[in-house]
Amino acid sequence: MARSPVLHDELSSLPLLAKDKESSAVVVHIQDMEAQDFEALLYYIYTDSLPEMNGETAAMLPDLVAAANRYKMERLRLVCEDKLSELVNARTVAVILPFAEEHHCPGLKEACLRFLDDPANMKDVAKAFGLEHLSKSCPAVFKDLIVKRAASP
């Protein structure tokens, strides 16, 4: 509960149960989260680190960002942002960039913009997705990119 004010409030509001009752278990339902994502969230809460990253674990990083925002766990969001930044490439940037904008991840957004600042990378993205896709999926970010590009020498 110490890592999340939201979890603290939710769990503090649960009724205290007498220890001598036969059925003293309390069931807490977590909505809108897959079991493996919640397990990774609990792992982080208890260890202050993410589970070992493999392909499957890396795929849950966006869900952990959403959970971090939901439970007001800023450090977890920053750790996930950092890990997602390592995954930015021509195949992923068109998905990660709008995600970063939607989930208020400025570090991740900046990593995407740095990637797209390289003309060779921009060409690869345009080839893979078309710039229309990028401009439609995240028009504000695309506008930022154009302004940044126009301001550079």
pLDDT tens for 78-134 read 999 999 999 999 989 888 988 998 999 999 999 998 998 888 988 888 787 766 766
* Cβ–Cβ under 8 Å, residues 116 and 145: yes
Question: Could you tell me which residues come within 8 angstroms of residue 71 by beta carbon, excluding any fewer than 6 positions away?
Answer: 4, 6, 7, 41
* Cβ–Cβ under 8 Å, residues 26 and 17: yes
What is the rounded distance in angstroms from the CA atom of residue 132 to the CA atom of residue 130? 5
The residue assigned the tokens 């504000």 is: 140
Calculate mean pLDDT across residues 20-47.
Answer: 79
The residue assigned the tokens 């080839």 is: 127
Whether 153 has a pLDDT exceeding 80, the answer reads no
pLDDT at 15: 66
Calculate mean pLDDT across residues 127-149.
Answer: 71
Residue intervals in the chain for CATH 3.30.710.10: 1-86
Which architecture characterizes domain 1-86 according to CATH?
Answer: 2-Layer Sandwich (3.30)
Residue intervals in the chain for CATH 1.25.40: 88-153
Calculate mean pLDDT across residues 40-55.
Answer: 87
**Full-model pTM:** 0.77
Per-residue pLDDT tens digits for 4-21: 777 767 777 766 544 445
CATH number of 88-153: 1.25.40
